[in-house]
Structure 1
Amino acid sequence: MKGAPARRVIRLFPEYGRDWPLWENSTPTWDVGYTTTPEMYGLSDDLTRHIAEWNALWNANFDPFDGWKDDAARERWREEGVAIAGRLAAEVADFADVSYEPWPLLSPDE
């Protein structure tokens, strides 16, 4: 695509009402929208499935008002997120960097 940035940045974080925790900031010369999908990046079926499971884990165990259901779910989600960020970075290494932004892991005071 003409005008595409030399290195794109794929942001990885969950958000309410979204099927995929993948985002990318558009620029005037690179309009990809804001929300993205695994298909847009040509991700493997295995990583796509892993991302879907990670997002489902968050939806089932994190409440915007009450936080995490328990520490075990929070830790599992944290571990899976780190693994996914690494796998995602490897799969898109030819054209993009990954910014892993796990905001649900922050304490309310941060």
Structure 2
Amino acid sequence: MAIKKFSLPALLLCCASMHAGASFMDGNKLLSGLEGHPLDIAASRAYVMGIADYSQSVKALTGRNVAFDACFEVPDGVTAGQLGDVVKIWLQKNPQHRHFSGPSLVTAALAAVYPCAAKR
């Protein structure tokens, strides 16, 4: 009986929180996280690191840029905090792009600051 009492409100909460959209994260949400509570900042930095790691891994395996025709090479020693700051500052300076998907914006920000050697 307790499971039924819990499951209906949980289901309603999940349905109410869903929204139609093309992506899980956009630039507005990402910037909010990067400027927010320390836990939000940590989660947003992890999101940025995940995109950076994925992009660099695919590039290493295929020799091609992953997405959005933006090539970046993160130097050794760059921290999660630095990557988060790069993306945060880029989003602050480019509010006209914040409605785009998180991965495209992270890629654009990192390519602007850490371009591939061929594009320097």
Q: Same fold (TM over 0.5)?
A: no
Band of TM-score, shorter chain: 0.3 to 0.5
How does the TM-score come out when normalised to structure 2?
0.31
Q: Could you say which structure has the higher strand fraction?
A: 1
Please say which structure displays the higher CA radius of gyration: 2
How does the TM-score come out when normalised to structure 1?
0.33
Q: Could you say which structure has the higher helix fraction?
A: 2
